Structure 1
Amino acid sequence: MNEPKKIVITGASGFVAKNIRKFLSLNHYKLISIARNNFKKYKNEEKIILEKYDDPSLLNKIKNVDVLIHLVGTGKQSVDSDFESINVGLTKHFVNLSKKTKIKKFIYFSGLGVSSTTPLGYFISKYKAEILIQNSGLNYTIFRPSYIIGKDDLFTKYLKKQIQNSSIEIPGSGKFLIQPIHINDVEQIVLESILEKKFDNQIFDLVGPEKISFKDYVRLFSKNSDVLVKKINLEDAFHRAIHTSSSEFGVDDLNLLLGGFTGNHEKLKEISGIKFQSILGLLKAC
């Protein structure tokens, strides 16, 4: 597509959104960024804080926009916030807004491991959201991200907190694989998906070039500290997750970790043409 006039980003206060917004701002794109929580405003950016994303005033505020990047989602459920209402309902809402305002491109972050046969509630909600987008008639790109690593990402913050408490807990064997990708690579890929037709109406695993077990990642991350790395029984981990809201691992976190989900990096590498950051290289260097 041609250079976009404006780009809307939902979930603007989150880690991924914050970095994408900063990157696009530095590259002189005009942004309309939307969140329910306050956030730092960047150059070329219009900031919108809403109590609810379905605020009817939003329709007029996102007219004359070319691209919508939908980053609102939840990985945990509560009585006030469930997968169906957030991951499916809000996606449907922004798909409808995009159609009404004639937005040219819809970019969505789903989840690595999403499929039509998944039994997990989180993945089911993300799959439903993907189908809504694919059936919308909009030009779309769907990304299924693994752990996205960078300054202040949730995974890194979790490990740092564990180090401060002098021990890092690994549920079960820790042999399950992860395939993290660096936020700088994600920024580049998102921009390419906005500009390049080869990304149109496709789904990509948003994964890095290396697969690593959770226990090996933790050991590399903590190698320069005196922290104790210890395994915890899976039954104990799930019991704590079910009964303790303050548990480091939620039930869905454990399900996603134990699933050992990895993806097709070669497809992403071939279409993007970028040189990906080695997460293992970063861990070994730090």
Structure 2
Amino acid sequence: MKVLITGASGFVGSAIVQEVQQAGHEVLAASRSGKAPEGMQGIKLDVTQEGETLKTIQEVQPEAIIHLVGIIRETRDQKFQKVHVQGTENVLKAAQQVGARYLHMSALGASKGHKSKYFDTKGQAEALVKASGLTYTIFQPSLIFGPGDDFFGNVLKDLVSAAPVVPVIGKGDFPFRPIWIGDVAAAFTQALRNPRTENQTFQLVGPKEYTFQELLDLELHALQRRKPLFHVPLLLMDLAVPMMQILPNPPITRDQYLMLKEGNTGDPAPATRILNLSMDHLEHWLPRILKA
């Protein structure tokens, strides 16, 4: 099967590209930069540009499209509405033209009308997919971990390393179910030929639930450091986060703060019943992630 993968040069995209190719498919690796792993066809594609997207996908005629493009925070040029909603709409139009099987990367917690613009625009994109008339599969992953990931490899690492004490937001009891990048890549790859995944939405979560404080403790243990935890009251954070937004690069955005307080957890059973996932544990990978 000829499979076009958008966002192919990113952390998740690179893993899915490799998994899909190993499964015997012909991979077209599309990204804004046009870079692709050695031996693969790289395609320069900005999905926020409708004409470019329609033309490019019409030219290569993929049998399936895996759409992964997304951002976790806005910049001057990259906005949630433009990337998540407009970009998805453009790819769907192109997929309709070529009659492609469509696999979509959403997010656990996606919901139209959510206070978080990230979750709201992810929810809008899901609605577009479901109304497209295409044969689709939507995946909603929680935090994704693996060598090269940004959250465990950078964000949490910096948080527990920067100061003599480790700040914890509120009680630190927000729940999370991180999932291994290998399981995410396997889910997308298997869905290409598994009819039981057609026109379905799956939560992609790991085998174990952690509180935010437990994630901090795991990070400290993996780094072989011992530091006291300092709990910052939610009321104080509610006041401080808006003030941080005047900084050129705030340590946490309003959107990220809203999502953090909500937590990010779900039920792994539906996906594991249909897809052959290994459900690898965070503790197994964290030392390697922090050395990457």
Q: Which of 33, 49, 54 does residue 49 from structure 2 map onto?
A: 54
Q: Secondary structure at the match of 1:124?
A: helix
Contact 1:179 1:207 in 2 (8 A): yes
What is the distance in 1 between the residues matched to 2:207 and 2:7?
27
Change (3 A) 1:83 1:205: same
Alignment of 1:249 onto 2:258: no
User: Paired residues, what number?
Assistant: 280
What is the distance in 2 between the residues matched to 1:99 and 1:246?
39
The alignment yields a C-alpha RMSD, in angstroms, of: 2.4
Residue in 2 that maps onto 1:271: 274
Alignment of 1:11 onto 2:7: yes
Taking every aligned residue pair, what percent have the same amino acid on both sides? 26
How far is 1:228 from its partner?
5.3
How far is 1:21 from its partner?
1.1
Alignment of 1:77 onto 2:92: no
Instruction: Give matches, 1:6-155, under 5 Å.
Output: 6-37=2-33, 39-43=35-39, 45-50=40-45, 53-54=48-49, 56-62=51-57, 63-103=60-100, 105-116=101-112, 118-155=114-151
Residue in 2 that maps onto 1:191: 189
Q: Secondary structure at the match of 1:195?
A: coil
CA deviations over 1:131-168 (Å, ceiling 9, x no partner): 11111110000011100000111111212333553554
TM-score normalised by length of structure 1:
0.88
CA deviations over 1:225-278 (Å, ceiling 9, x no partner): 245543334235514542223222221111111101311211111111433112
Runs of at least 5 residues in structure 1 that lack an aligned partner in the other structure: none
TM-score normalised by length of structure 2:
0.86
Which 4+ residue blocks in structure 1 deviate beyond 6 angstroms?
none
| Greater displacement, 144-153 / 218-227 | 218-227
Change (3 A) 1:53 1:117: closer
Change (3 A) 1:37 1:160: farther
One-letter code of the match for 1:215?
Q
Contact 2:47 2:87 in 1 (8 A): no
Change (3 A) 1:106 1:237: farther
Q: Which of 199, 204, 207 does residue 205 from structure 2 map onto?
A: 207
What is the distance in 2 between the residues matched to 1:210 and 1:59?
41
Contact 2:45 2:52 in 1 (8 A): no
Runs of at least 5 residues in structure 2 that lack an aligned partner in the other structure: none
Change (3 A) 1:125 1:57: closer
What is the distance in 2 between the residues matched to 1:261 and 1:254?
12
Contact 1:176 1:257 in 2 (8 A): yes
CA deviations over 1:192-237 (Å, ceiling 9, x no partner): 1111000000001111111100110111121112455433342355
How far is 1:8 from its partner?
0.8
Change (3 A) 1:77 1:66: same
Contact 1:111 1:146 in 2 (8 A): yes
Contact 2:173 2:211 in 1 (8 A): yes
